[in-house]
């Protein structure tokens, strides 16, 4: 017991000390707040509905500290509806403008937290960093220079070779002249008597036969190769009506594939997400972060593509509402199995737990989507031969697994052993 | 030395002046070579300046251009939803419960939709009434995508807006009301409580309103008889599953008699269980589906049927009855009466004679024996038509008493016997509006065509049987600018509600009794208290007892004045409202196996008397004479004649539903309109027939008229007595083959090593020949599920029909199949065998009939698989015989090697081909295609896959949910469609499954067992209850 009491007192001292320090620090920053802390709070709690400079679900918040009294702001953030009901004129005005969107009450935010957020909102608007643009341009020119450099080297090489040829010719000419001067005769006539090589070739019937056979074989080989790639669109990378970057979504932002392609879980098609799925995020994500831009595509380019989405779905950014005027997006289909082959995504994704990347490649790195796999039958079959069926925890497989593994004397079963190579499993 | 001997090939060549020989010398081909149109016109061809060289240049260039252009693959676009509906996941089917109530067919069904498109009709297992979807209901989904539907309201052939139409109609209604003229609603039987209420409100507003209910094929006599006896205008319901003895006088109750829907109950009583099954005796004139299922069928002319019914009543009641019948028939009637008397309350008597006396007598008999089969407390409400009112209406219209005529769901200008009078009278009607899906015979004549939605786009409710409700809900947004009758009526009545809300509030107030509306809508069916109770109960007390004795004596005096014609609805076509449905047109009649036609069925004796004949031509097609048929001064010329075994001598039959012209594609305008003979709405008419000259008619017949010739091997049947008393080895003989000079069971000998199929699923299909009534719902279900193409009449005639599932119909040339066997065994010597087999091909006057659904038998040792040069057909371990279309090169070797003839070859491209202008040739019709099944191209073989796509889906669903597959989840389209339980599908490795149990039955046999194909489809020996007395 005594020990406990002692520990408690120690703890109490520590708590009081920390509280004191904290209160001291807050009192120091009172009314000012810490913009850095405010930014992180803002992004956590506010950014879903507010932007600093643009009206979203709620009003733009830059300079909000000047518009309202601090106490009013505390009340508003803690419970806006109560404030509205209390008959406050300012609150009523906001409600009139933004209803029926109700602002979430944040009683967990202390006044200090709110101060921090306000401090963040009070920061002056950053001017677009023009300095960066020359940097980018400079980089591009640098790249260009290196390209030109290669060409220069090539041109120089060609020049050198040309010079060498000319020099050789001149040397030869000079040597010949010296030889003539020295009275050396050339055996021109002898070479004329020699049989031309093509004639010799024609005369050698065996050689003709062999080469014809080789030609035919070679021709057949290439013809076969050509035929087999007809209809195989591996690497097909069409230009899409909206430049949608899987790199940004699946790579940078780590969005799960099945968030957008949700029907892959339950259906045969993975589904192209309908535009309302895009709007789940893009209602608040109206522009890309500056660091998203690459050498190839600028921030303005990406922002423009988001505008295309708004146009297609009929979203009025200024008024934050749907206009009802939609223009469905005509995506170009990339992966296209022929109609006589049945493929079911849910079988592979949900039942087998195959990663999307296994067939679709490193989608999270693709700026522009392309067909990664050949999608040929041989490719399907190979995988079915090599891959073990994922049976653990699936009651469906219990009996059949037990029986089949006894039959084949193995612990794991490939899809082929389960009958996954039968024609009728995919063709009906 | 060369001889100058003259060789000749024909006598004609010896004639020096022969023009034919001269022509032959000049031309390589006697006839112009049939090339396509571009070369067909000889003048244009010879005047053309294109030389052969130029032509070849063009060909070369275009080929090169085409191949260059083809190098670039087509760019396919994918357009996702902008806002995806929550319930729709692309690639996953949704099911909605709804009800069909088109005035002829009534059934609670489920609709399978894919990506928002209804693609298939399924049975609603919650339905507590009727038999589920028949062939027409199965096919009705295609009607939604009919390219000839009216796409919006029309006036004088021009599209108008609904506002204009409404304005004009309201004005017309007011004018008529003020002028004191009648406003008539001429409609189908809706059997809809909310519509009844709505019409009464409409009446209240406009006063002079009259509601005339019109059934194209009337059940007026039965309705009147029932009304006179029980006070409700309805029809008695029958539950044949409770029946031990069924006696039917001309009632084709397995098809559409009194609204149909009796077959599943009937089938239940037909399967022998514990040594018992029902006994069915049928007296009829046409060979009907019901008669062909009967244990004993007595062919009688309609007049004889009446007498037989009278005598039956006499024998049963012990009062005796006069009347003249052939002795054998009289004995049969006596026996039937004795059997009914013995069975007592477990017997039932039904009749299809459209005569109030006959219907009254039958009701009296069933009451006398207090039959448990008949249900008069909750009668059927699916027929309400009143022929007197309809006849009166035509008179009123002609007299100019009708100011406004509004029709819905009826086509009187086609279905009325006096259609010409109706057309004339329609001109005297001030304003006429036809709610119609088509520009049909009626709607083209009315002032306005109110474009009506398909039932899959409509709301509605039905009370098919008292207290048994069904709900109709849309399964797709209206494809066109349509409005349903009730919706328009609400507008005209000035009720500011849409029909859904109106119906919902009515249901919540009067029917649901506190139950959930959403649940009722979800189930599609609801059992509650009927609203017609209060109205009817008062009247019952005032009923005048009907004199049965008088009716019986009238019946017993029935005589025929010459040949009698019985008009009947065909299984596929019904009353003809779906005549533009290619599935139904190509659907072969279960009895005659003729598709794309109606015809006069004539008995052999009558045909010979009049010189009418049927014969086969070289390509296997059936030809038949034409006859001119006259009834009451109306003559239809050139009606094709089909000699129908079992047709009662002195009677002929002709089916309704054909001979339509308006609103039909050219190819569907088949047959003759039998409604012209439907004078007085009596399907039995006195008729004169004479042979018409000219060419004979070419039938498109799927299976020809040959007999079984004693090959009991493919169709096995026995009698109940033998079945009960003898060992199965006697009545279900295993064929014997010789092995090492010993006779052994064929099933024990095998060329192949057996593959171990005990692991995983092993699918089997069981077909019970006792339960199968031959209704054909499975055939259409198979069509819809598997994208089976329609090929048209000419191709069917060439035996190029594509049905994956056919229902073979076999006649026995003797009265029984045993008789056939005895005859065959009695043959001695070659000469005798030739003549006897020849004789056996002549069907007897009253043959026995058996139906046998045949699809790919999925042989474990399949002859087709071993002969395919490219291994396009192969076997799966689950028992199915797979067919990889894209691998097939079309040698047709497999079809030749198939002993069951179930493989179908695509002789042409049947989709996107103007030569086959059916549903697969237009964008609308293609919406019915099942996206999970490949649409086959030209030059490949196809066949039943045991609905691989369905079993694969069931397995995947189970895998995804991590559970074993339940037995009932494994279905094929045919097994799911079979309301009578004849077709059962499942996994025999699951010992608890129904099919595994069925396989243990001693009735099981395989088709052509002696050839050792080991099929995965098995049949159950047909047992007939031949007990005579």
CB of B934 within 8 Å of a chain A CB? The answer is yes
CB of A331 within 8 Å of a chain B CB? The answer is yes
Picking from B72, B90, B115, B970 by the largest number of A CB atoms within 10 A of its own CB, the best residue to mutate is: B90
Strands B525-527 and B468-472: antiparallel
What ipTM was predicted for this assembly? 0.82
Residue B817: what pLDDT? 59
Topology given in CATH for the domain delimited by B154-218+385-528: Rossmann fold (3.40.50)
Chain A CB contacts of B89 under 8 Å are 263, 266-267, 271
* Mean pLDDT across B967-993: 92
**Nearest Cα to Cα of residue B347 among B398, B403, B279, B295:** B279
* Mean per-residue pLDDT of chain B: 87
- Euclidean distance between CA atoms B440 and A201, whole angstroms: 83
Whether the per-residue pLDDT at B190 is higher than 70: the answer is yes
CB of B960 within 8 Å of a chain A CB? The answer is yes
Contact A422 B874 (CB under 8 A): yes
3-state SS assignment for residue B664: coil
A418 — pLDDT class (breaks 50, 70, 90): confident
Q: Across the interface, which of A274, A336, A396 has its CB nearest the CB of B84?
A: A274
Whether the per-residue pLDDT at A15 is higher than 80: the answer is no
Q: pLDDT (tens digit, 9 = 90+) per residue, B392-420?
A: 999 999 998 999 999 999 999 999 999 99
Cis peptide before A352 (omega within 30 of 0): no
Contact A351 B956 (CB under 8 A): yes
Strand partners, B402: B182
Strand partners, A218: none
Strand partners, B689: B629
- Lowest-pLDDT choice from A49-63, B226-240, B812-826: B812-826
- Surface of A (161-180) touching B: CB under 8 A: none
Residue A135: what pLDDT? 38
Chain A CB contacts of B759 under 8 Å are 400, 403-404, 407
Q: pLDDT (tens digit, 9 = 90+) per residue, A235-250?
A: 899 999 999 999 999 9
Q: Across the interface, which of B78, B91, B887 has its CB nearest the CB of A333?
A: B78
The residue written with tokens 């042979």 in the block is B691
CA distances from B65 to A20, A228, B51, B57, B58 (A): 88, 22, 21, 12, 10
- Euclidean distance between CA atoms B938 and B944, whole angstroms: 17
Contact A400 B874 (CB under 8 A): no
Query: Which residue pairs, CB below 8 angstroms and at least 24 apart, start in A286-295?
Result: A286/A51, A286/A54, A286/A56, A286/A317, A288/A248, A290/A129, A290/A132, A292/A248, A292/A252, A294/A367, A295/A136, A295/A139, A295/A140, A295/A143
- Euclidean distance between CA atoms B255 and B656, whole angstroms: 13
Q: pLDDT (tens digit, 9 = 90+) per residue, B294-352?
A: 999 999 999 999 999 999 999 998 887 777 888 888 889 999 999 999 998 999 999 99
3-state SS assignment for residue B112: strand
For the B717-1024 domain, the top CATH level (class) is alpha beta
Picking from A377, A423, A425, A426 by the largest number of B CB atoms within 10 A of its own CB, the best residue to mutate is: A423
Question: What beta strand segments (E) does B518-625 contain?
Answer: 525-527, 563-568, 594-595, 600-602, 614-616, 622-624
SS3 for B821-868 is: HHHHHCCCHHHHHHHHHHHHCCCCCCCCEEEEEECCCCCCCCHHHHHC
- Lowest-pLDDT choice from A122-126, B807-811, B982-986: A122-126
- Lowest-pLDDT choice from A30-34, A347-351, A412-416: A30-34
Total residue count of chain A as it appears in this document: 428
Residue B1027: what pLDDT? 82
Contact A340 B885 (CB under 8 A): yes
Strand partners, B94: B113
3-state SS assignment for residue B273: strand
Chain A CB contacts of B886 under 8 Å are 338, 340, 427
Whether the per-residue pLDDT at A232 is higher than 90: the answer is no
- Euclidean distance between CA atoms B582 and B587, whole angstroms: 8
Q: Please, what's the largest Cα pairwise distance for chain A?
A: 126
CB of B25 within 8 Å of a chain A CB? The answer is no
Whether the per-residue pLDDT at A143 is higher than 60: the answer is no
Q: Which residues contact B31 (CB under 8 A, 6 or more apart)?
A: none
Chain B CB contacts of A419 under 8 Å are 760, 876-878
- Chain B's closest residue to A399, CA to CA, is B760
B1026 — pLDDT class (breaks 50, 70, 90): confident
- Surface of A (378-397) touching B: CB under 8 A: 393-397
Greater confidence (B153 vs B321) lies with B153
Q: Which residues contact B982 (CB under 8 A, 6 or more apart)?
A: B267, B767, B768, B769, B770, B771, B772, B773, B853
B154 — pLDDT class (breaks 50, 70, 90): very high
- Surface of A (335-354) touching B: CB under 8 A: 336, 338-340, 342, 344, 346-347, 350-351
Q: Across the interface, which of A238, A351, A404 has its CB nearest the CB of B959?
A: A351
Q: pLDDT (tens digit, 9 = 90+) per residue, B877-897?
A: 899 999 999 999 999 999 999
Residue A137: what pLDDT? 38
Instruction: Report the phi/psi class of residue B514: left, alpha or beta, with left for phi > 0 and alpha for psi in -120 to 50.
Output: left
Q: pLDDT (tens digit, 9 = 90+) per residue, B586-604?
A: 999 999 899 999 999 999 8
- Euclidean distance between CA atoms A162 and B206, whole angstroms: 106
Residue B887: what pLDDT? 92
- Highest mean pLDDT: which range of A22-26, A196-200, B65-69, B188-192: B188-192
Provide the shortest C-alpha distance from residue B75 to chain A (in Å).
7
Q: Which residues contact B105 (CB under 8 A, 6 or more apart)?
A: B134, B136, B137, B140, B260, B574
Terminal alpha carbon distance of chain A: 79
The residue written with tokens 């005032």 in the block is B542
The residue written with tokens 């609150």 in the block is A91
Q: What is chain B's Cα-based Rg?
A: 31
Note whether A368 and A241 are within 8 A (CB). Answer: no
* Mean pLDDT across A65-90: 84
Q: Across the interface, which of A267, A276, A336 has its CB nearest the CB of B76?
A: A336
Q: Which residues contact B532 (CB under 8 A, 6 or more apart)?
A: B232, B381, B463, B466
Q: pLDDT (tens digit, 9 = 90+) per residue, B263-287?
A: 889 999 999 988 889 999 999 999 9
Chain B CB contacts of A418 under 8 Å are 760
Q: Across the interface, which of B80, B877, B945 has its CB nearest the CB of A272?
A: B80
Q: Across the interface, which of A274, A350, A407 has its CB nearest the CB of B82?
A: A274
CB of B886 within 8 Å of a chain A CB? The answer is yes
* Mean pLDDT across A49-68: 80
- The continuous run of DSSP H or E covering B819 comes out as helix B817-825
Q: Where are the domains of chain B?
A: 11-70, 154-218+385-528, 221-380, 591-681+688-701, 717-1024
The residue written with tokens 């001064």 in the block is B633
Contact B75 A332 (CB under 8 A): yes
Greater confidence (B246 vs B736) lies with B246
* Mean per-residue pLDDT of chain A: 82
CB of A232 within 8 Å of a chain B CB? The answer is no
Residue B604: what pLDDT? 87
B528 — pLDDT class (breaks 50, 70, 90): confident
Whether the per-residue pLDDT at A24 is higher than 70: the answer is no
CB of A44 within 8 Å of a chain B CB? The answer is no
3-state SS assignment for residue B496: coil
- The continuous run of DSSP H or E covering B209 comes out as strand B209-213
- Euclidean distance between CA atoms B965 and A173, whole angstroms: 92
Q: Which residues contact B572 (CB under 8 A, 6 or more apart)?
A: B135, B136, B584, B585, B587, B588, B589, B595, B776
* Mean pLDDT across B682-710: 80
Chain A CB contacts of B932 under 8 Å are 268, 342, 428
CB of A135 within 8 Å of a chain B CB? The answer is no
Picking from A424, A426, A427 by the largest number of B CB atoms within 10 A of its own CB, the best residue to mutate is: A424
Note whether A389 and A352 are within 8 A (CB). Answer: yes
Picking from B759, B953, B972 by the largest number of A CB atoms within 10 A of its own CB, the best residue to mutate is: B759
CB of B751 within 8 Å of a chain A CB? The answer is no
Contact A424 B882 (CB under 8 A): yes
Contact A342 B90 (CB under 8 A): no
Return the CATH number of A31-121, one of 1.10.760.10, 3.30.70.100, 1.10.238.10, 3.40.50.720. Answer: 1.10.760.10
DSSP letter for each residue of A359-382:
HH--GGG-SS----S---HHHHHH
Whether the per-residue pLDDT at B800 is higher than 80: the answer is yes
Whether the per-residue pLDDT at A138 is higher than 50: the answer is no
- Chain A's closest residue to B883, CA to CA, is A424
Whether the per-residue pLDDT at B166 is higher than 90: the answer is yes
- Euclidean distance between CA atoms B649 and B643, whole angstroms: 11
Chain A CB contacts of B965 under 8 Å are 396
Chain B CB contacts of A274 under 8 Å are 80-84
Residue A117: what pLDDT? 86
- Surface of A (249-308) touching B: CB under 8 A: 263, 266-269, 271-277
CB of A241 within 8 Å of a chain B CB? The answer is no
Greater confidence (B705 vs A334) lies with A334
Whether the per-residue pLDDT at A95 is higher than 90: the answer is no
Strands B279-284 and B182-187: unpaired
- Lowest-pLDDT choice from A15-29, A379-393, B311-325: A15-29
Structure tokens at B792: 């048209």
The residue written with tokens 């596929």 in the block is B572
Q: Where are the alpha helices (DSSP H) in B703-808?
A: 720-725, 728-731, 777-786, 793-797
Contact A344 B962 (CB under 8 A): no
Q: Where are the alpha helices (DSSP H) in B841-941?
A: 863-867, 893-897
Contact A269 B91 (CB under 8 A): yes
Chain B CB contacts of A314 under 8 Å are 82
Topology given in CATH for the domain delimited by B221-380: Dimethylsulfoxide Reductase; domain 2 (3.40.228)
| Chain centroid, CA B710 distance in Å | 29
* Mean pLDDT across B563-580: 92
Provide the shortest C-alpha distance from residue B991 to chain A (in Å).
13
Q: pLDDT (tens digit, 9 = 90+) per residue, B925-969?
A: 999 999 999 999 999 999 999 999 999 999 999 999 999 999 999
Q: Across the interface, which of A274, A403, A424 has its CB nearest the CB of B945?
A: A424
B69 — pLDDT class (breaks 50, 70, 90): low
- Lowest-pLDDT choice from A260-269, B178-187, B196-205, B311-320: B311-320
B672 — pLDDT class (breaks 50, 70, 90): very high
* Mean pLDDT across A12-36: 56
Contact B960 A395 (CB under 8 A): no
Picking from A275, A396, A398 by the largest number of B CB atoms within 10 A of its own CB, the best residue to mutate is: A396
Q: What is chain A's Cα-based Rg?
A: 37
Contact B91 A267 (CB under 8 A): yes
Torsion angle in degrees (nearest 10) through CA of B766, B767, B770, B775: 140
- Euclidean distance between CA atoms B494 and B598, whole angstroms: 46
């Amino acid at each position: 017991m005594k020990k406990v009491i002692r520990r408690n007192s120690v703890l109490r001292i520590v708590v009081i000390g920390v509280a004191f320090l904290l209160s001291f620090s807050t009192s120091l920053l009172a009314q000012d707040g810490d913009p850095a802390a405010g930014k992180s709070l803002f992004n956590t709690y506010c950014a879903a509905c507010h932007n600093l400079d643009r009206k979203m679900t709620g009003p733009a918040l830059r300079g909000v500290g000047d518009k309202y009294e601090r106490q009013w702001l505390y009340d508003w953030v803690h419970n806006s509806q109560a404030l509205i009901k209390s008959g406050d004129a300012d609150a009523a005005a906001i409600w009139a403008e933004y209803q029926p969107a109700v602002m979430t009450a944040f009683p967990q935010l202390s006044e200090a937290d709110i101060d921090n957020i306000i401090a963040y909102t009070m920061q002056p608007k950053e001017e677009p960093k023009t300095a960066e643009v020359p940097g980018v341009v400079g980089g591009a020119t640098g790249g260009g220079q290196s390209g030109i450099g290669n060409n220069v080297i090539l041109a120089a090489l060609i020049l050198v070779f040309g010079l060498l040829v000319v020099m050789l010719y001149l040397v030869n000419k000079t040597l010949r002249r010296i030889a003539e001067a020295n009275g050396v005769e050339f055996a021109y006539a002898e070479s004329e008597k020699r049989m031309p090589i093509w004639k010799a070739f024609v005369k050698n019937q065996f050689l003709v036969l062999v080469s014809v056979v080789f030609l035919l074989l070679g021709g057949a080989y290439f013809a076969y190769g050509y035929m087999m790639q007809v209809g195989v669109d591996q690497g097909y990378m069409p230009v899409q009506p909206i430049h949608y970057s899987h790199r940004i979504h699946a790579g940078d932002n780590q969005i799960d594939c099945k968030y957008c392609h949700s029907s892959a879980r339950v259906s045969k098609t993975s589904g192209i997400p309908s535009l309302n799925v895009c709007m789940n995020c893009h209602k608040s994500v109206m522009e890309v972060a500056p660091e998203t831009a690459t050498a190839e595509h600028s921030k303005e380019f990406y922002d423009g593509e988001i505008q295309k989405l708004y146009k297609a779905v009929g979203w009025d950014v200024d008024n934050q509402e749907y206009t009802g005027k939609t223009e469905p997006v005509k995506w170009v289909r990339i992966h296209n199995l022929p109609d006589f082959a049945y493929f079911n995504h849910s079988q592979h994704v949900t039942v087998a737990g195959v990663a999307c990347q296994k067939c679709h490649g490193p989608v999270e790195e693709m700026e522009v989507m392309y067909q990664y796999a050949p999608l040929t039958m041989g490719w399907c079959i190979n995988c079915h031969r090599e891959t073990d069926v994922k049976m653990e925890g699936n009651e469906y497989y219990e009996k059949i697994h037990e029986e089949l593994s006894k039959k084949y004397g193995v612990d794991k079963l490939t899809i082929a052993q389960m009958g996954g190579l039968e024609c009728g499993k995919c063709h009906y | 030395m060369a001889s100058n001997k003259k060789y000749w090939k024909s006598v004609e060549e010896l004639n020096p002046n022969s023009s034919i020989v001269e022509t032959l010398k000049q031309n390589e081909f006697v006839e112009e070579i049939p090339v396509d149109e571009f070369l067909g016109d000889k003048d244009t061809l010879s005047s053309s300046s294109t030389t052969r060289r130029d032509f070849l240049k063009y060909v070369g260039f275009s080929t090169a251009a085409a191949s260059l252009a083809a190098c670039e693959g087509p760019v396919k676009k994918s357009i996702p939803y902008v806002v995806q509906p929550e319930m729709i996941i692309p690639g996953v089917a949704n099911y909605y419960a709804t009800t069909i109530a088109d005035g002829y067919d009534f059934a609670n069904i489920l609709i399978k939709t894919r990506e928002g498109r209804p693609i298939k009709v399924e049975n609603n297992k919650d339905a507590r009434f009727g038999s589920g979807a028949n062939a027409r209901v199965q096919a009705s989904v295609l009607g939604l995508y009919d390219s000839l539907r009216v796409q919006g309201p029309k006036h004088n052939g021009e599209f108008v807006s609904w506002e204009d139409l409404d304005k004009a109609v309201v004005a017309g209604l007011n004018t008529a009301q003020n002028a004191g003229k009648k406003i008539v609603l001429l409609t189908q039987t809706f059997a809809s409580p909310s519509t009844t209420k709505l019409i009464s409100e409409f009446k209240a507003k406009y006063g002079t309103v009259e509601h005339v209910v019109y059934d194209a094929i009337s059940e007026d006599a039965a309705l009147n008889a029932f009304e006179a006896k029980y006070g409700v205008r309805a029809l008695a319901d029958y539950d044949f599953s409770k029946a031990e003895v069924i006696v039917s006088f001309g009632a084709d109750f397995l098809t559409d008699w009194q609204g149909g829907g009796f077959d599943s109950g009937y089938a239940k009583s037909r399967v022998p269980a514990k040594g018992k099954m029902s006994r069915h005796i049928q007296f009829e004139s046409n060979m009907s589906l019901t008669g062909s299922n009967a244990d004993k069928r007595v062919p009688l002319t309609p007049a004889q049927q009446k007498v037989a019914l009278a005598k039956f009543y006499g024998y049963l009641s012990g009062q005796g009855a006069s009347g003249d019948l052939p002795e054998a028939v009289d004995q049969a009637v006596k026996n039937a009466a004795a059997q009914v008397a013995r069975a007592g309350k477990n017997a039932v008597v039904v009749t299809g004679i459209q005569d109030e006396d006959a219907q009254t007598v039958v009701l009296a008999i069933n009451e006398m024996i207090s039959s448990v089969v008949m249900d008069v407390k909750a009668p059927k409400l699916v027929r309400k038509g009143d022929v007197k009112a309809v006849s009166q209406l035509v008179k009123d219209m002609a007299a100019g008493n009708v100011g406004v005529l509004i029709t819905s769901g009826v086509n009187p200008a086609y279905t009325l016997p006096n259609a010409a009078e109706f057309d004339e009278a329609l001109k005297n009607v001030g304003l006429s509006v036809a709610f119609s899906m088509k520009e049909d015979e009626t709607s083209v004549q009315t002032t306005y065509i109110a474009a009506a939605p398909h039932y899959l786009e409509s709301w509605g409710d039905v009370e098919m049987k008292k207290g048994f409700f069904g709900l109709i809900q849309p399964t797709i947004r209206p494809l066109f600018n349509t409005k349903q009758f009730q919706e328009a009526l609400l507008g005209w009545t000035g009720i500011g509600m849409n029909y859904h809300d109106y119906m919902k509030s009515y249901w919540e107030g009067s029917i649901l009794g506190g139950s959930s509306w959403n649940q009722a809508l979800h189930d599609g069916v609801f059992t509650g208290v009927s609203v017609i109770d209060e109205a009817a109960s008062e009247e019952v007390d005032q009923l005048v007892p009907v004199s049965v004795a008088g009716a019986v004596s009238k019946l017993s005096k029935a005589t025929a004045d010459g040949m009698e014609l019985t008009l009947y609805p065909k299984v596929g076509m019904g009353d003809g409202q779906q005549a533009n449905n290619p599935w139904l047109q190509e659907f072969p009649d279960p009895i005659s196996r003729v598709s794309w036609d109606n015809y006069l069925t004539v008995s052999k004796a009558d045909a010979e008397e009049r010189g009418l004949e049927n014969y086969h031509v070289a390509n296997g097609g059936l030809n038949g004479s034409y006859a001119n048929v006259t009834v009451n001064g109306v003559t239809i010329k050139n009606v094709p004649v089909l000699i129908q075994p079992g047709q009662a001598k002195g009677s002929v039959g002709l089916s309704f539903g054909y001979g339509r012209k308006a609103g039909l594609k050219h190819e569907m305008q088949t047959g003759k309109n039998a409604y012209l003979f439907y004078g007085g709405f009596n399907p039995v008419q006195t008729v004169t027939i004479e042979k018409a000259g000219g060419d004979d008619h070419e039938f498109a017949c799927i299976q020809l008229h040959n007999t079984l010739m004693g090959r009991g091997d493919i169709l096995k049947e026995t009698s109940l007595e033998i079945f009960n008393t003898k060992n199965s080895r006697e009545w279900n003989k295993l064929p014997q083959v010789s092995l090492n000079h010993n006779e052994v069971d064929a099933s024990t000998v095998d060329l192949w090593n057996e593959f171990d199929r005990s692991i995983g699923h092993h699918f089997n299909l069981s077909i019970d020949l006792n339960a199968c009534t031959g209704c054909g719902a499975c055939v259409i279900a198979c069509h819809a599920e598997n994208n089976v193409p329609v090929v048209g009449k000419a191709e069917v005639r060439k035996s190029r029909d594509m049905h994956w599932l056919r229902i073979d119909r076999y006649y026995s040339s003797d009265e029984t199949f045993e008789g056939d066997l005895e005859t065959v065994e009695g043959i001695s010597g070659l000469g005798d065998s030739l003549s006897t087999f020849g004789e056996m091909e002549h069907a007897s006057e009253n043959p026995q009939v058996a139906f046998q659904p045949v699809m790919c038998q999925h042989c474990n040792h399949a002859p087709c698989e071993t002969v395919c040069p490219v291994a396009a057909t192969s076997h799966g371990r689950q028992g199915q015989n797979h067919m990889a279309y894209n691998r097939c090169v079309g040698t047709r070797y497999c079809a030749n090697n198939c002993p069951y003839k179930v493989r179908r070859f695509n002789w042409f491209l049947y989709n996107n081909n103007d030569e086959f202008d059916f549903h697969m040739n237009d964008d609308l019709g293609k919406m019915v295609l099942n996206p999970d099944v490949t649409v086959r191209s030209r030059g490949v073989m196809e066949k039943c896959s045991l609905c691989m796509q369905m079993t694969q889906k069931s397995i995947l669903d189970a895998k995804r949910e991590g559970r074993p597959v339940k037995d009932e989840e494994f279905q094929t389209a045919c097994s799911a469609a079979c309301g009578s339980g004849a077709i059962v599908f499942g996994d025999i490795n699951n010992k608890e499954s129904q099919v595994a149990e069925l396989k243990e039955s001693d009735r099981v046999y395989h088709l052509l067992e002696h050839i050792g194909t080991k099929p995965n489809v098995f049949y159950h020996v047909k047992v007939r209850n031949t007990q005579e007395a």
